[in-house]
Every structure is written in structure tokens, then in C-alpha cells.
Structure 1
Amino acid sequence: MSALFNFTSLLQVILLLICSSTYIHSQWPSFLDRYKDQSVLGAFWKLARIGERASPYVSLACIIMAVNQFNS
């Protein structure tokens, strides 16, 4: 089944995108900053910003998803 139709898989994909974008932005900040005003690549800059500002909640969500993945 596609990740778009399964809610837990969709959440995992979104969390993976947030964590990956935040990591890329922390390693190479200019890479995402030059695309922040564009529509498609600007979404990754916005995901990185979410990961930076809400990092305790994102990490808690990652832990919950990991436990959920181990239990299923």
C-alpha cells in the first residue's frame, strides 16, 4: 500500500523528511537557504525550520514511531 493512503506511513515519511531536511540544513546551511523562496525546494527549507524549532517534539515523535514500528 502506498504511504499516502496509510496514515502511520504518511507520518513516518513526514518525520523522515523533517529529520533529513534539518540534518542537511545543519551541515550545509547555504544549500537550503538559497532555495527558500522557491516553491518546491522551499518546502525542504520549511521542513528544516520545523525541525529546528520543534526539535523536542519531533524527537519525541520519532521515538514513538520507532516503538510503534518495533511493536508491529
Structure 2
Amino acid sequence: MSALFNFTSALLCLLLLICTSAYIHQLFPGIMDRNKDGAFTGVFWKCARVGERLSPYISLCCIVMAVSMTIGN
């Protein structure tokens, strides 16, 4: 089954995208800031901004997701 049809998996993919984009932006800020316009690269820039500005909430969501995955399996 695809991750897009399962809400938990889609949420996990979104959290991973946000965390990865924020980490890459921390390492290479020039590359992401230069490509913030556009359909494909703009998504990564926006996810990096969300990850940077809401990092306590994103980390809390990652912990909750990890606990729920552990309990669910």
C-alpha cells in the first residue's frame, strides 16, 4: 500500500521531509535560499522554514510518532 493512502504513513513522510529539509538548509543555506522560487525546490525551502521556526513542535511530533509506531507494532 502506498504511503499516501495511509494517514499515519503520510504524516510520517511529511515529518521526515520537514526534518530533512531543515537539516540540509542548516548545512547548505546558499543552495536552498537560491532555489526558493519554483514548484519543486520551493517545497523544500518552505519545509525548511517550517522546521526552523517550529522546531520544538516538530520534534515533539516526531517523538509522539515514534512512540505511537512502537506501541502500534
- TM above 0.5, yes or no, is yes
Q: CA RMSD in A?
A: 0.6
In the alignment, structure 1 segments of 5+ residues that lack a partner are none
Q: Deviation per CA, 1:11-31: give whole Å up to 9, x if none.
A: 000000000000000011011
1:28 corresponds to which letter in structure 2? F
In the alignment of these two chains, the number of paired residues is: 72
Percent identical: 60
- How far apart, in 2, do the equivalents of 1:60 and 1:36 lie? 27
Match of residue 66 from structure 2: 66
In the alignment, structure 2 segments of 5+ residues that lack a partner are none
When normalised by structure 2's length, the TM-score is 0.95
When normalised by structure 1's length, the TM-score is 0.97
Runs of 4+ in structure 1 over 6 Å off: none
